[in-house]
Amino acid sequence: MQQKQLSQKQQEILTLIPRFRFLTRIHIQSFLKHKDEARINKWLKYLIQNQYVLRRYDNAIIGKNRSPAIFYLGNGGVGFVNTFGMYDNTFIHKLYFDKKRSVTFIEHCLMIATICCALDNQQSDIKSYEYATASDISDLQNPFHFLRNSELSVDLVFSKKERGKRKKWYFLTYFDQTLPRYRLRNRIRKFKEFYFSSAWENTIDQKFPTVLLLFETKERMIYAKRYTKYLFEDEETPADLSFNFATAQDAKKDGVTGAIWE
């Protein structure tokens, strides 16, 4: 099938999916700000039939416990995205193997998509949000591409701008429950090292972002808080370096801009 046969909205879906890797129809409809569910399903059906998009769906589960279908790029979709030259070869290569991703990885991606949908829905005349996902950072032209060499594990870089106030920046990382504790500690330690490198200020020329850390369980969150406190046991935490902690359940309920952070 020729690229010109794709509608503008279908092409938009193909460029939207790799930003998050996995999306539900609800996510896609929210990002497109489109009211017609049937039209979204029609576009997706066409993309699936022509192998631009693949779908994961468990027909064995019925009733209220049925999960929505999850969409990700097929080989045709990856090839389409690659023609734009947005992403480096390493990232494009990863997209070809999304069909083999674990449930944990997929749920992680869906969580970040849900957060971004909430940020979009909170846009107003007096408050605005801008964000870059981990995939966006793989874009060679993205202003945050330099973070690829920082060893930071960041799922989202976003800003909040309220009328009459300075723009505030945030790093958000979601820790899966299966992540070993030594890797959790390493990821938190990398934020400290990155702060003292001054790479953010030298590149973006903005105040260092507030670090937001999300966890699947309260037990894991408490462990991370204790380790972060230990990191600065022999020195005072810099006034402009802030670590905030919350559970994923609270984030889903009240959003990452709510009063959920400890």
Q: How far apart are CA 66 and CA 57, in angstroms?
A: 9
Strands 156-162 and 70-73: unpaired
pLDDT tens for 29-47 read: 999 998 899 999 999 999 9
pLDDT tens for 140-178 read: 889 999 998 888 999 999 999 998 889 999 999 999 999
What stretch of H or E contains 184?
helix 181-197
The pTM of this model reads 0.92
Strands 210-215 and 53-56: unpaired
**Can you tell me whether residue 170 is helix, strand or coil?**
strand
